[in-house]
Amino acid sequence: MSGPTGPAGRVVVAGMGSEYRRDDGAGPAVADEVARLVTGVTHLGPLADPLDLLGLWDGAALAVVVDAVRSGAEPGTVRVIHLDDASTGPDQGTGPTSTHGISVAGALRLARAVGSAPRRVVVVGVEGDDFSQGLGLSPAVGRAVPEAARAVAELIGEFD
């Protein structure tokens, strides 16, 4: 369930992606699981576009963005990426070539430029395998969902 517009809770967990593109649904699946494991977090998603984060994550102390990734690693591999200044430099973010596309790093750069960024942003990537049209995660990605959710829960616990 999407959280309120405007000032977000102290901790925001957002699932990026579309469950109609198989493993692209990994982000929303993990965010759903985190919402079951951890009380008091603002749960966002499924979000199709990182720009949707603007306004929804404003004021958060910690924002965890869970997304499917394609890096060449084994399907189901979970990576935790702390977005700092180095990872949101000028080459990261939006481009003039996209009509809507913006990365999470780009959304963060934009939020920082207007002073509405969460204090800390962490991206949790789940390596996908099958991004074709259809419902359901591939087996390796499905098995990774609880692991990724536990990783997010630990992040939140450490933050508290």
Partner 1 sequence: MSHGSGAQRSVSVGGLARVEGEGSLHVEVRDGVVEEVALDIFEPPRFFEALLQGRRADEAPDITARICGICPVAYQMSACGAVEDACGVHVERRIADLRRLLYCGEWIQSHALHVYLLHAPDFLGCADAVELAERDRAAVERGLMLKRTGNLVMETIGGRAVHPVNVRVGGFYSAPSPDSVTALAEPLRRALDAATATVDWVAGFTFPDVAGDYRFVSLRSPGRYPVESGRVASSDGLDTSPGGFADMVVEEHVARSTALHARIDGRLEYLTGPLARYALNAAELPPPAREAAAAAGLGDVCTNPFRSIVVRAVELVFACHEALRLVEAYEPPAPPAVEVRPVAGSGTGATEAPRGLLLHRYTLDADGVITGARIVAPTSQNQLTIEGDLRRVVQAGLDLSDEELTWRCEQAVRNHDPCISCAAHFLDVAVDGR
In the complex, the residues that contact partner 1 under the rule CB under 8 A are 1-2, 4-6, 17-21, 24, 44-49, 51-52, 54-56, 68, 93-103, 106, 109-110, 113-116, 131, 133
**In the numeric block, which tokens belong to residue 31?**
């965010």
Q: Which is nearer to partner 1, 26 or 152 (CB)?
A: 26
Q: How far is the CB of 25 from partner 1 (least distance, A)?
A: 10
Q: Which is nearer to partner 1, 27 or 76 (CB)?
A: 27
Q: Which is nearer to partner 1, 135 or 157 (CB)?
A: 135
Q: How far is the CB of 79 from partner 1 (least distance, A)?
A: 18
Q: How far is the CB of 110 from partner 1 (least distance, A)?
A: 5
Burial readout 110-122 (b: 16 or more C-beta within 10 A, e: otherwise): bbeeeeebbebbb
Within its chain, how far is the Cα of 53 from the centroid?
Answer: 9
CB 155 within 8 A of CB 90: no
